Structure 1
Amino acid sequence: MIRETSLAGSRLWLPATFGSQAETLEAETIYGRVRGYLFKGVAIFRNIPYGGITEGDARFLPPAKLQKWTGVLDTTVAGHRCFQGSGNIFTSKDIGAYFSGGRSDAASIASETNSENCLNLNVSTPALTGKRPVMVYIHGGGFSGGSGVLTVFANRHVVEQDVVLVGINHRLNVFGYTYLGGLSEKYVVGNPGQLDLVAALEWVRDNIAQFGGDPGNVMIFGESGGGAKISTLLAMPSAKGLFHKAAIQSGSLIRVANAEDATRSARDLMRKLGLSKVEDLVKVPASDLFKAGPKGLAEVGPVVDSHSLPKQTWDPVAPALAANIPLLIGNDKDESSLFSLQNESLFSLDNTGLRSALLKVNVPQERVDTLIALYQKEYPKENPSDLYFRISTDRGARWNAVKQAERQLAGAKSPVFLYYFQWNTPLVDGKIRSFHTADLPLTMRLVRYSQAELLSKQLSGAWAAFARTGNPSQKGLVWPSYTLSERTTMIFDLPQSKAIKDPHKAERIMLQDIPSGSLL
């Protein structure tokens, strides 16, 4: 906990509904001093810059080095997030409350403005002195949206686990993942959004000691698109040595785009904008560029550019750069339920409807009946809709998680820990059950439903233990590493979480050659 003697002694009126004046404090970076604030025993710094401007002629290029400043930079309010659609997850009544742990000030704290100039990060720490594990959160939202603001809510995780927590904002969508190297030598180094993450990790290496963190003990973690970004970072030479453990949550991205396909996408973008010269892309207003750019997970993302990303990431083998990095990998039971709310029929399937739905997602006709029979035998109390979401998850996120773990283990130089989150949340009247990202807020000690308090403590404790030692085991919850012979997996659930050897073995074997090709 921060003591009064560590405070700078000034007071600041914070606009983000903290209810009263807040104590402020200052920290030193290699670029200049920053001023943060104290909230419930946690020092919070928001909008600390880690790179230069990214608009105008700097658009689509690797991040520029940050320039030093004089005086004290105010880092008490939100920074810009990358240009994206309006709103955020916290404006949603049910999902927003779940992710904020029910905090009444969530919408205000999470309010961020869009900008191309978005290279900033948040730091939350129990004290400015010490040598704590550093947990760097890389946000989801595919490669198109989101921000690192969730870390600002996670004061309980920071205090209880005595860790330093960092959340990164970086370039996304058309600004961070347009590949122009096939059209101009100027842009031969691609993946600027990924290189932003590298720059942020360099900032952590150079500065986090001044915030009570250990630059030699950095863990990166992220869900969904965040896990996909981490899967890619593990194959990037420029990221080597900047982190020491990684947790990939429902985001095991096995392959990224090739340069040829990415170049075709760039040409399509220029046609939409009526441009003939690649140089004119830097003159397009940010709002117009965003509207014209691709949005979906399958349309935007990293590319093998032969420079920042020299080769394919996890296919056919794990990247050699990842060989010595302990990994924690897993997913949620009902990944696609959240995204199916607009398709009511999927929540009221009968047996005939289940068969039809599975055929629509390319389960081979000659195997669909055998597959349904197996799941009905293994889960006799579940209805056809439950089985649909379970099967689609097992073919998607879980297949990817297991495949990533298997390929990492082929190198046999670092341990892998596999998990499966299957608590059925009460969210949306229990309709979406263990939905995509359901584990994430609990990992950060954000608990909307009191019955999940113990489960949250277990998740938070496991992630912090992994950050601290490379092993997620904790008192009362022993978590053996995953091996090809035993395949021990931690099942997170209520009333009890436990490690089980090769759970759902029959389903894994049946589905091993018919993946969906989706992250969900």
Structure 2
Amino acid sequence: MDIFKTTNGAVRGFRASDDIVAVLGIPYAAPPFGSHRFREPAPAEAWTGVRDCTAFGPIAPQSAELPGSPAWSPGDEDVLTVNVWTPSPDGGSLPVLVWIHGGAYAFGSSAQPDLDGEALARAGLVVVTLNYRVGFEGFGHVPPTGGVVLPDNRGLLDQVAALRWVRENIAAFGGDPDNVTAAGHSAGAASIACLMVMDRARGLFHRAIAHSPAGIHYPLDVAAATTREVAAAAGCPATPEGLASAAPEVLLAASDRVVEEYRRDPASGSRHYDPSLYAPVLDGDVLPVDPLTGLAAGAGRDVDLLVCHTTEEYWLLDAVGSSAKVTTEEQLARFAEDFGLPEGLLDGYRTALPDAPVLDVYLAVFGDLLFGEYAHRLVERHARGGGRVFRSLFDRRRTGPHGTVRAWHCADVPFAFGNVDKECVTFLIGGAPTAADHDLARRMVAAWAGFAAGGDPGWPPYDAVRGQSKVWRTDECDAHDVPAAPRELWARAEFPLLRP
């Protein structure tokens, strides 16, 4: 039976395969436009009859066009939807995994082919993916004016609304609402860390998986300054009324212009290197505290956490041209100054990478700054706060036609989803998957399924004494084989990373 009853009405899915039913594009909140724009997500309207849910819903406003994924166009409004894959359409009570996509809080969607939940569902999970507001619509600060106060972190509030939908509806799809794992990658992983310290999300999930969490959060003054820049580029006042008068596509184009200005100006500070305008705002309300501080104080101690990052994160950002090139010692020194890196850190990396060109030293430092070191600190702070946490590293490499294929950002996701055969991941993994790649994917899927089912991914939890990690490779090498990043060099670096 491929018809399911939700709190808003009945939905019809389809057989993705003989043993898996997929139900796509189910609204979990009202379209966030018109009177709902820049506000907390409102309940979705109910419908009569059976709603056909056999295709993904439209994606949130964004200018990016990702391979194999749909593009957004003005007029696409029903963007707050979830998708479900279930191996148990006739009942049961299976563990649930809810996935939050990445994309620098500015792009991405649940319709990306590498996020197909069929393989994970076949491993015994009910899999849910979701869309949420990104860019200015989701994370832009709207200054309070004339008594009008609009919430920050609307993208996080969308994620909370989707998790509430799961709690209220997932039993109809064979899932257990009391056994929910929230998972995500990059901005999605950092969103998970935020949800762990948010009162609004408390009790909505019981375990968490964070792959390559990005350690950027903005205080209100930085978020407000960004709004002024975007509003000026859009030709509108930086007020609730002025910003609402600018259509989503106008704010998108304005954001892109501001980003391009940072890219072109080497003197523009830290945003020159990776000009991400949007991130969770430390507003003291929706996000009361940065995740590192909150977790260390025990805010998420009841949630088991699994953290993973790749060993060569930033090489992908360089390969796709989203990061400034740093190829001289002078540029490298300026980079360190712009980010306020501790004295001696660059020298430590040069010692650890004695024959590496300047670009590789820069990429290694930047990857640890944004992802690797932040992931380490999430692990340590959660453990310090009394939580149970598991740490892992993705270090899979191969030799391709153009040289070594690195263990870079995003490369772990198709393995964990079991989607290494998807055409859209060929670039990420360096060609067609080998038998060893399929074996690695099976092991990573099993680890996620085991963790989601009962909190056991297959290796011991982290403790401060042993500091053990699982290393994902095609040859199952021992964790101690991985060259350790010079972590002691980061001891004096302040996190969260506050830019610019």
TM-score range relative to shorter protein = 0.7 to 0.9
Q: By how many angstroms is 1:186 displaced?
A: 3.0
Q: Which residue of 2 aligns with 1:123?
A: 84
Equivalent of residue 332 in structure 1, options 310, 315, 331: 310
Q: Which residue of 2 aligns with 1:286?
A: 248
* Kept in 1: contact 2:218–2:280 (CA 8 A): yes
Q: By how many angstroms is 1:513 displaced?
A: 3.0
> How many equivalent pairs are there?
460
Cα distance in 2 for partners of 1:242, 1:297 equals 33
359 and 28 in structure 1: CA distance in 2 versus 1, 3 angstrom threshold: same
Alignment of 1:294-443 (within 5 A): 298-315=276-293, 318=296, 320-341=298-319, 358-362=332-336, 368-376=346-354, 389-412=363-386, 414-426=387-399, 429-443=402-416
* Kept in 2: contact 1:258–1:303 (CA 8 A): yes
Per-residue CA shift, 1:171-221, capped at 9, x if unaligned?
110111122253354334321111010000000000000101110011011
Residue identity in the other structure for 1:221: A
State the SS of the aligned residue for 1:329. Answer: strand
Q: By how many angstroms is 1:428 displaced?
A: 7.2
State the SS of the aligned residue for 1:137. Answer: strand
Q: Which residue of 2 aligns with 1:260?
A: 221
Residue identity in the other structure for 1:83: P
Q: Which moved more, 1:359-368 or 1:328-337?
A: 359-368
State the SS of the aligned residue for 1:484. Answer: coil
Q: By how many angstroms is 1:390 displaced?
A: 3.9
State the SS of the aligned residue for 2:476. Answer: coil
Q: By how many angstroms is 1:435 displaced?
A: 1.0
Residue identity in the other structure for 1:446: N
* Kept in 1: contact 2:348–2:489 (CA 8 A): no
* Kept in 2: contact 1:422–1:493 (CA 8 A): yes
213 and 430 in structure 1: CA distance in 2 versus 1, 3 angstrom threshold: farther
Q: Which residue of 2 aligns with 1:466?
A: 451
Q: Which ranges in structure 1 are unaligned for 5 or more consecutive residues?
A: 1-6, 8-24, 92-106, 474-478
Matched, 1:507 2:492: no
Q: Which moved more, 1:362-371 or 1:434-443?
A: 362-371
Q: Which residue of 1 aligns with 2:132?
A: 170
RMSD value over aligned CA atoms?
3.0
State the SS of the aligned residue for 2:457. Answer: coil
Cα distance in 2 for partners of 1:279, 1:343 equals 36
Cα distance in 2 for partners of 1:235, 1:209 equals 26
State the SS of the aligned residue for 2:181. Answer: strand
Equivalent of residue 110 in structure 2, options 131, 144, 148: 148
* Kept in 2: contact 1:491–1:499 (CA 8 A): yes
Q: Which residue of 2 aligns with 1:196?
A: 158
State the SS of the aligned residue for 2:408. Answer: coil
138 and 394 in structure 1: CA distance in 2 versus 1, 3 angstrom threshold: same
Cα distance in 2 for partners of 1:471, 1:342 equals 36
Q: By how many angstroms is 1:156 displaced?
A: 2.1
427 and 213 in structure 1: CA distance in 2 versus 1, 3 angstrom threshold: farther
Equivalent of residue 53 in structure 1, options 31, 53, 57: 31
* Kept in 2: contact 1:231–1:252 (CA 8 A): no
Q: By how many angstroms is 1:50 displaced?
A: 0.3
Q: Which residue of 2 aligns with 1:30?
A: 7
Percent identity (aligned)? 28
Cα distance in 2 for partners of 1:170, 1:397 equals 22
State the SS of the aligned residue for 1:34. Answer: strand
Give me the TM-score of the superposition, normalised by structure 1.
0.81
Alignment of 1:40-79 (within 5 A): 40=17, 41-79=19-57
Q: By how many angstroms is 1:432 displaced?
A: 4.7
Q: Which moved more, 1:305-314 or 1:141-150?
A: 305-314
Q: Which residue of 1 aligns with 2:167?
A: 205
Q: Which moved more, 1:446-455 or 1:309-318?
A: 309-318
Q: By how many angstroms is 1:239 displaced?
A: 0.5
Q: Which residue of 2 aligns with 1:103?
A: none
Cα distance in 1 for partners of 2:37, 2:401 equals 41
Q: Which residue of 2 aligns with 1:481?
A: 461
* Kept in 2: contact 1:375–1:507 (CA 8 A): no
Per-residue CA shift, 1:251-270, capped at 9, x if unaligned?
153x5212222223333333
State the SS of the aligned residue for 1:328. Answer: strand
Cα distance in 2 for partners of 1:514, 1:306 equals 23
Residue identity in the other structure for 1:278: P
Cα distance in 2 for partners of 1:113, 1:330 equals 30
72 and 483 in structure 1: CA distance in 2 versus 1, 3 angstrom threshold: same
Per-residue CA shift, 1:20-75, capped at 9, x if unaligned?
xxxxx211101100011002121111100000121112110000112211001110
Q: By how many angstroms is 1:508 displaced?
A: 1.9
Q: Which moved more, 1:286-295 or 1:362-371?
A: 362-371
Residue identity in the other structure for 1:507: P
* Kept in 1: contact 2:348–2:486 (CA 8 A): no
Q: Which residue of 2 aligns with 1:235?
A: 197
Q: By how many angstroms is 1:455 displaced?
A: 1.0
Residue identity in the other structure for 1:39: A
* Kept in 2: contact 1:79–1:113 (CA 8 A): no
Q: Which ranges in structure 2 are unaligned for 5 or more consecutive residues?
A: 260-273, 422-432
Cα distance in 2 for partners of 1:391, 1:202 equals 38
Q: By how many angstroms is 1:278 displaced?
A: 2.6
213 and 317 in structure 1: CA distance in 2 versus 1, 3 angstrom threshold: closer
Q: Which residue of 1 aligns with 2:185?
A: 223
240 and 157 in structure 1: CA distance in 2 versus 1, 3 angstrom threshold: same
* Kept in 2: contact 1:396–1:517 (CA 8 A): no
State the SS of the aligned residue for 2:252. Answer: helix
Cα distance in 2 for partners of 1:384, 1:152 equals 35
State the SS of the aligned residue for 2:178. Answer: strand
Residue identity in the other structure for 1:57: S
Q: Which moved more, 1:503-512 or 1:113-122?
A: 503-512
